[in-house]
Structure 1
Amino acid sequence: MLTGLQIAVIGGDARQLEVIRKLAELDSKLSLIGFEQLDLVFSGVNKEKFNEVDFAEIDAIILPITGTNSEGQVELIFSNEEVILSEEILLKTPPYCTIFTGISNSYLDQLAKRTNRRLVKLFERDDVAIYNSIPTVEGTIMMAIQHTEFTIHNSRVAILGLGRVGMSVARAFHHLGAKVKVGARRTEHLARIAEMGLDSFQLSELENEVRDIDICINTIPHLIVNAAVIQKMPTHTLIIDLASKPGGTDFRYAEKRGIKALLAPSLPGIVAPKTAGQILGNVLAQLLEEDVLKRKEKTI
């Protein structure tokens, strides 16, 4: 149970609604900022304006998956209010106050460092990433079906990166009958690809490996599918970029060549927001109980 915890939930998409439901069930007290356009009825939950919140009483802050922009502004989908998370705001919170976000940036990293507040990046956790790979895979399959004129079965698919998402995507497309090859840099990843019964290649050979592919799925958050690589692809190739914004694809050049390239960094929130929200809610509940609540109790 989270009885005694005061949590500020600032913005977010449909996934955040499941987080709110879970934390409310565990008896925490929630201040919701940026949800004025929604009808939410939960015990212990109050919709508030950002400037009305008493941050001296806030034990944890939950940001949207995207965190803040480079100037500290938090995106609010269900409100027209402008919210900027600043040093002044965080210094009002108790020293043990923890900030939860999906991903971070230099602004948020430096803000947490300057205010000596703990910053938890949920999408860097193995459990969250692995659970999230399930709706990500389903969404990727959906996009591949919607945007091609051929079956996944027997198609030639190149997957770039064998991280937690790349491994799940590679396994799923292989089981659907695609001819899958996976590009990686690390020798242990190349060994794992071989163990999975898939073809492997070094990413340094990417230009040669895309000459005969039907679908290219990128999971690497750096510009790797560049103009030189896209130049070697057949014009019917579909690129699905699952990396965080801005992705790892030269979308301008892909459009110039007439190759369809789709950026899809938040598929869980699009194809299965309820499941994705439940994943986040369960992990947050555990972290809040095991860390924030215990640290608060030590100060009392």
Structure 2
Amino acid sequence: MLTGLQIAVIGGDARQIEIIRKLNELDAKLFLIGFEQLDHSFTGAVKEKLSEINLKEIDAIILPVAGTNLTGEVDTIFSNEKVVLTEEILKKTPSHCTIYSGISNAYLDEIIQKSNRKLELLFERDDVAIYNSIPTIEGVLMMVIQHTDFTIHGSKTVVLGFGRNGMTISRVFHSLGAKVRVGARRKEHIARIEEMGLESFHLKDLEQIVKDADIVINTIPHLIVTASVISKMPHHTLIIDIASKPGGTDFRYAEKRGIKAILTPSLPGIVAPKTAGQILANVLAELMKEDLMKRKEST
């Protein structure tokens, strides 16, 4: 149980509903920031403005998967009001206050460091990333089916990156009969790709590989599908980019060439928010239980 724990849930999408539900069941006291338009109500959870809560009593802050943008704004679909997280806000919280986010950026890293607070990045955890790859691949399949006029079976599919998502995507597309080629840089990834019975290539050879690609799926969060790469693709190629914003594709040039390129970050929150939210909720609950136990042992 999380009885006595006071938590601020700031912004987010439908995944946050499952997090709120789980933590509420565990008897945490919740302050919901940026949820004015949320129809559902939870007994014991209070909708508040960030300026109205007593930050000195907040034990944890839960941000959306994307954290903040580069000016500190927190995205939410349940409010029209702008919510901004600042260094000054964090400094008003107790020294033990932990901030939970899916990912981080330069802004969030900076205010965390300056306020000397602890930051937990959920998407850097293997368990979260692996579980999350399941709704991710379902979303990728949905996008491919919606935006092509050919079957996945027999398609020449190029997957860029062999992390947790890249591995799942490669395996599933291979099982559906696609001719999968997987690009990576690390030798151990190349070896694992070959061991799985897939065709591997080094990312430096990407321009040659895409010359006959039907589908290109990028998981790498920096520019990899450049204008030069896109210029080598057939006009019918579909690019699905699941990397975090701004993705790893030159979308301007893809549009200029008439190649459909779709940026789809946070696919789990779009195609399966309930499942994706439950994954995050379960991990958050365990982390908070551990943190609460440590604090009790130290007092």
Give per-residue Cα distances to partners, 1:169-189, cap 9 Å, x unaligned. Answer: 000000000000101000000
Matched, 1:66 2:75: no
AA at the equivalent of 1:86? T
Q: How far is the alpha carbon of 1:79 from its aligned partner?
A: 1.3
RMSD, aligned CA? 1.0
AA at the equivalent of 2:240? I
- Quick one: distance in 2 between partners of 1:91 and 1:254? 44
Matched, 1:87 2:79: no
Q: Name the structure 2 match of 1:179.
A: 179
AA at the equivalent of 2:261? A
Q: Name the structure 1 match of 2:46.
A: 46
**Secondary structure of 1:211's match?**
helix
Q: Name the structure 1 match of 2:196.
A: 196
- Quick one: distance in 2 between partners of 1:53 and 1:128? 30
What TM-score comes out, normalization by structure 2 length?
0.98
Q: Name the structure 2 match of 1:20.
A: 20
Q: 8 Å contact 1:96–1:295 — kept in the other structure? A: no
Q: How far is the alpha carbon of 1:295 from its aligned partner?
A: 4.1
Q: How far is the alpha carbon of 1:80 from its aligned partner?
A: 2.2
Q: How far is the alpha carbon of 1:297 from its aligned partner?
A: 2.3
- Quick one: distance in 1 between partners of 2:32 and 2:111? 22
- Quick one: distance in 1 between partners of 2:249 and 2:237? 13
Distance of aligned partners of 1:56 and 1:295 in 2 relative to their CA distance in 1, 3 Å threshold: farther
Distance of aligned partners of 1:202 and 1:244 in 2 relative to their CA distance in 1, 3 Å threshold: same
- Quick one: distance in 2 between partners of 1:259 and 1:35? 38
AA at the equivalent of 1:171? R
What TM-score comes out, normalization by structure 1 length?
0.97
Q: How far is the alpha carbon of 1:20 from its aligned partner?
A: 0.2
Matched ranges for 1:154-233 at <5 A: 154-233=154-233
Q: How far is the alpha carbon of 1:125 from its aligned partner?
A: 1.0
Unpaired runs of 5+ residues, structure 1, are none
AA at the equivalent of 1:113? Q
- Quick one: distance in 1 between partners of 2:80 and 2:256? 36
List 4+ stretches of structure 1 deviating above 4 A.
none
Unpaired runs of 5+ residues, structure 2, are none
- Quick one: distance in 2 between partners of 1:154 and 1:40? 45
**Secondary structure of 1:69's match?**
coil
- Quick one: distance in 1 between partners of 2:84 and 2:265? 24
Q: Name the structure 2 match of 1:116.
A: 116
- Quick one: distance in 2 between partners of 1:12 and 1:299? 33
Q: Name the structure 1 match of 2:142.
A: 142
- Quick one: distance in 2 between partners of 1:87 and 1:224? 33
Q: Name the structure 2 match of 1:133.
A: 133
**Secondary structure of 1:210's match?**
helix
